[in-house]
Structure 1
Amino acid sequence: MPDLPRAGCATYLASLSAVPGLRDWLAQGRDLELRDFTEIGALQNDAWRDIAARARSDLAGHTGRIGVHGPFWGFQIDQPDPDLRAIVQDRMLCALDALDLILGGKGGGHMVVHSPFTTWSGFNRGTEMDDQAGITARSLETMAPVVARAEAHGITLVVENCEDRDPQERVDLVRAFASPAVAVSLDTGHAHYAHGSTAAPPVDTHVRAAGPLLAHVHLQDADGVADRHWALGQGTIRWHGLFRALAELPQMPRLIIEMARPEDILVSARYLEAERLAV
């Protein structure tokens, strides 16, 4: 199946050894996204340096691309308070420096950043409470030093949908950064939740809205009700329609299987191969 895209995965360092066969699967030149830096405390008091050093040692010889999921718990990137904004910036900058250390300064990695658009902001579009311009302006201000650091390290920040109802909002935000270091990410389960629970459009519309700006996809299945991170094929996402949309792009994004249970990574990989969607 030489013409099919190659999937990678998101997981914690500990899972690489805990899940039988996972390391061998990744050794086939697959992309890896580390989730360790999302944990509270991982980016404080230089703890990230030890995690990054361990990752660099553990991943020596890995031939696929490497990225990280950036911090997100407790904040959004459109932070209006200048004191809190400084904390957000510090966490993001530490995560970028951690990835740079893992990559040995060679660049080519990605860091996932959560979208600032919420269900509330989505339903208030076109009303007197519409804050699209404010969300964009605050995000640009908060992320300015982070984007500059990403450019310096050769790392791409990918902005992932969470509660987003309108995929175009995130695309417009990425364009507003006007930087080659900022691109769009799609989380399939998040999009499916928004489709089923908040009347957002279906998952494949996110692909077409982003077009060539789509650089990264989290592959997870869901039921359209909540954020499940189920194994692919166990929810109700229309995977063939999604992959048809992906095939229309000028370049295939990084395909990252992101599971609630790490043992479901290989289950999902086998599903993609059986459906002749990816290898």
Structure 2
Amino acid sequence: MTDLPILGAALTVDALETHRKLMLDKPRDLELQDFWPAEVLNGDWKPIVEKARKLLDGHQGRVGIHGPFFGFTVDSMDVDVREIVRKRLLQGLEVCEALGGTHMVVHSPYTTWDFNNLDNYENARQRKIELCHLTMSDAVKRAEEIGCELVIENIEDKDPYARIELAESFGSQAVKVSIDTGHAHYAHGTTGAPPVDYYVRAAGNRLRHIHLQDADGYADRHWTLGQGTINWHSVFGALSKLESDPRLIIELRDHSGLPASIANMAALGLAQ
């Protein structure tokens, strides 16, 4: 990326209505976050999509969603739970197709416990990947069909490379890597993981999506960019080396901090 990158945002449809002018002033990528609850996916979500599409008239960036994640992991050993997870992922992709979305966030199954124990059991690493394939194979196929990327986001991941190995194991252009800066910073500060820019370098051009949030290295804060202790110069320096054009999605707990996040990164000369 040679020019200053353009920052997008993760918003609910209601927050998009509030920040619509900002999201349309440049080709800012958008991630809608209304569609992860089971109650929404099992219900009539079409009016929400309809409202979003109207609000997106004139929008020039890419659109995607945060997929379902609460209450399960994509490596479940329970065959009945696995069927529910398969269903949820396909429901999310149905929403993506209706929106014209090009990405859906999927949470990494790798835990802090895994970092210390996967090599404590024979073939545990491969078994974890096999379980993910049993759960995700239908979703990967469907994502390929509709031109959507499943981007696997680090959650507890202490090892920046484990979920990269998982993504590549599918052998599909529909499975790529995501980074959440606050999650990586938490892992760095609390579990001894590498700093955030190392996660970016590890992913390299497999990186197609990033959640930008500031934090303190202790918890998952989702603060306004510039309010925490993440070294943004190192993060954007690493991003500047990439050619994969990742979606740069500001993901805040308080959406009112979106304009300040963009302004703070612009003031540092890092983004617009």
TM-score (structure 2 length as normaliser): 0.95
Following TM superposition, by how much is the alpha carbon of 1:40 offset from its aligned partner in structure 2, in angstroms? 3.8
Q: Please say if residues 160 and 184 of structure 1, whose CA atoms lie closer than 8 Å, have aligned partners that are also in contact.
A: yes
Per the alignment, residue 117 of structure 1 pairs with 110
* Equivalent residue pairs, number: 270
Q: Please say if residues 113 and 159 of structure 1, whose CA atoms lie closer than 8 Å, have aligned partners that are also in contact.
A: yes
Give distance in 2, aligned partners of 1:275 and 1:212. Answer: 24
**2:169 matches 1:169:** no
Deviation track 1:9-67 (CA, whole Å, cap 9, x = no partner) reads 0010011234xxx211110221110000123411114x233322332233233211101
Report the residue type matching 2:131 in the other structure.
R
More moved, 217-226 vs 115-124: 115-124
Following TM superposition, by how much is the alpha carbon of 1:130 offset from its aligned partner in structure 2, in angstroms? 7.3
Give distance in 1, aligned partners of 2:123 and 2:223. Answer: 34
Per the alignment, residue 274 of structure 1 pairs with 267
Per the alignment, residue 89 of structure 2 pairs with 92
For structure 1, the residue ranges without an aligned partner over 5 or more in a row are none
Give distance in 2, aligned partners of 1:250 and 1:212. Answer: 6
Give distance in 2, aligned partners of 1:145 and 1:71. Answer: 15
For structure 2, the residue ranges without an aligned partner over 5 or more in a row are none
RMSD: 1.4
Q: Please say if residues 184 and 215 of structure 1, whose CA atoms lie closer than 8 Å, have aligned partners that are also in contact.
A: yes
Following TM superposition, by how much is the alpha carbon of 1:98 offset from its aligned partner in structure 2, in angstroms? 0.7
Identity over aligned residues, as a percent?
49
More moved, 126-135 vs 255-264: 126-135
**2:192 matches 1:199:** yes
Give distance in 2, aligned partners of 1:129 and 1:230. Answer: 40
Report the residue type matching 1:215 in the other structure.
R
**2:44 matches 1:51:** no
Give distance in 1, aligned partners of 2:123 and 2:12. Answer: 38
Per the alignment, residue 215 of structure 2 pairs with 222
Give distance in 2, aligned partners of 1:69 and 1:182. Answer: 15
Give distance in 2, aligned partners of 1:16 and 1:54. Answer: 10
Q: Please say if residues 219 and 232 of structure 1, whose CA atoms lie closer than 8 Å, have aligned partners that are also in contact.
A: yes
TM-score (structure 1 length as normaliser): 0.93
Per the alignment, residue 5 of structure 2 pairs with 5
Report the residue type matching 1:33 in the other structure.
E
Per the alignment, residue 211 of structure 1 pairs with 204
Q: Please say if residues 220 and 229 of structure 1, whose CA atoms lie closer than 8 Å, have aligned partners that are also in contact.
A: yes
Q: Please say if residues 74 and 109 of structure 2, whose CA atoms lie closer than 8 Å, have aligned partners that are also in contact.
A: yes
SS in 1 for 2:265: helix
Per the alignment, residue 81 of structure 1 pairs with 78
1:122-137 matches, cutoff 5 A: 122-128=115-121, 131-137=124-130
Report the residue type matching 1:38 in the other structure.
W
Give distance in 1, aligned partners of 2:175 and 2:50. Answer: 26
Report the residue type matching 2:251 in the other structure.
E
Following TM superposition, by how much is the alpha carbon of 1:96 offset from its aligned partner in structure 2, in angstroms? 0.7
In the superposition, relative to structure 1, how do residues 130 and 227 fare at CA in structure 2: closer, same or farther (>3 Å)? Answer: farther
Q: Please say if residues 17 and 55 of structure 2, whose CA atoms lie closer than 8 Å, have aligned partners that are also in contact.
A: no
